[in-house]
Amino acid sequence: MPELPEVETIRRQLAEKIVGKKLDGREITAARRRAKLLLIDFSDGASLVFHLKLTGQLIFNAEPGKYTRHVFRFDDGSRLIFNDARKFGWWKKVPSTKNIEDEFGPEALAVTLPVFRALLAKKKRTKIKALLMDQKSIAGIGNIYSDEILFAAGVRPDRPAGSLIEGEARKIYLSIKKILKSAIKHHGSSIKDYLDAFGQKGGYVPYHKVYQKEKCLKCGTSIKKVKMGGRTAHYCPQCQI
């Protein structure tokens, strides 16, 4: 499922291409992201909200294909293609995005260290990987980047939030910023179906250190894989404590 870096990549690309265009006579004023949602705003205050889920794609000026679910045609003749092979993704028009945006916690790239510390204190019994993926606690991080963040911080994914000492909490906080910014720089991770707004694969997979790896790239230890909340966590039992 596309996470913050993938959706942010698409947002930035579409902002350059569609802001100022008209769709059904209404001018597009902004392309925004909230958590893993893409928001396209119109001059009348309404918005289109997209959730790509597992296989959704938003590609500018592509040709419709087998898995195309909708074609948004702009007044100047350009178009935005919404593909979704498994049909879990969705889009809808809303008069306001406030209620939708209020469902999420602080943005992962914007959260401050004091707020992050307070979150850990509030969710002491929650496993740290589950906490990072909880969109109501911190918005935008999913399975891939929670694994990469915790590896960078040297913390096991099954550690309760309350067990983290100050230095560990700070390392996780800094790793959130570092990993997500690096992934955005490389246009995200194309594991299966993700493509950016120009139909290109993201370039961050070669930078993965632990997600879907068999051996730790740092020490050579076999990567552990454990089920957590219906997802598979990957970690190095030697490098993460």
The residues carrying an active-site annotation are 2-3, 36, 231
Distance, CA of 102 to chain centre: 17
> What does the alpha-carbon distance between residue 13 and residue 22 come to, in Å, rounded to a whole number?
17
> What does the alpha-carbon distance between residue 64 and residue 122 come to, in Å, rounded to a whole number?
47
Cβ-Cβ contacts under 8 Å for 4 (sequence gap 6 or more)? 33, 35, 36, 108, 109, 139, 140, 141, 142, 145, 180, 184
> What does the alpha-carbon distance between residue 166 and residue 236 come to, in Å, rounded to a whole number?
21
Among 111, 109, 134, 150, CA closest to 12: 109
